Amino acid sequence: MMPLTNGKLNIPYKIKDISGENKKVVRRFLELGIIKGQAIKILNTSILKKVFLVEIRGYILSVKADLLSYILVEKM
Partner 1 sequence: MDEILLVGNPNSGKTTLYNALTRSNEHIGNWHGVTVEEKKKLMKVGESNFLLVDTPGLYSLTPLSFEEEVSFKIIEKGNYKKIINICDRNNLQRNLYLSLCLLEEDLDIVIAINEIDKKVKFKVDEKKLSTLLGCDVFLINAEKKINIAKLKESLLKEKKTYSLPYLKKIDFEKVKNYFKNKSEKEKQIFAIKAYEKNENFFKLKGFSDEEIKIIFSLVPENSLEILTEARYAFLDEIIEKSCQKVDFTYGKSKLDKILLNKYLALPLFLVIIAFIFFLTFFSLGAFLSDLLSSFLNLLSSPILSWLKGVLGGNWIYYLFSDAIFNGLSTVLSFLPQVVLLFFFLSLLEDSGYMSRIAFTFEDILGKVGLSGKSIYTLLMGFGCSTTAIMTARNMDNKNSKIKTALLCPYMSCSAKIPIYTVIGGAFFGVSNIFVIMGLYLLGVVVAILVSLVLDKTILKSDNQTFILEFPPYRLTSFKRLKNILKNNVKTFLVKVGSIMIAMNIIVFLLSSFTFKLQFVLDGSGSILESIGKFLAPVFEPLGFNNWAIVSALLAGLVAKEVVVSSIAMFNGIDFNATKLISSSILLSTSVVYFPSTASVLSFLVFCLLYTPCLASISMMKAEIGTKWTVIGIIIELIVAYILSFIVYNIALSIEVFGFLPTFLVILVIILVVISFALIYRVIKHKKCPHNCQNCHRNCGK
- Other beta carbons within 10 angstroms of residue 43's beta carbon come to 13
The answer to the question of residue 71 lying near partner 1 (CB under 8 A) is no
The answer to the question of residue 55 lying near partner 1 (CB under 8 A) is yes
H or E stretch covering 2: strand 2-3
In contact, 26 and 70? CB cutoff 8 Å: yes
What mask of x and - would describe binding to partner 1 in positions 11 to 50, judged by CB under 8 A? -------x---x-xx-xxxxxxx-xx------xxxxxx-x
The answer to the question of residue 8 lying near partner 1 (CB under 8 A) is no
The smaller minimum CB distance to partner 1, of residues 28 and 75, is found at 28
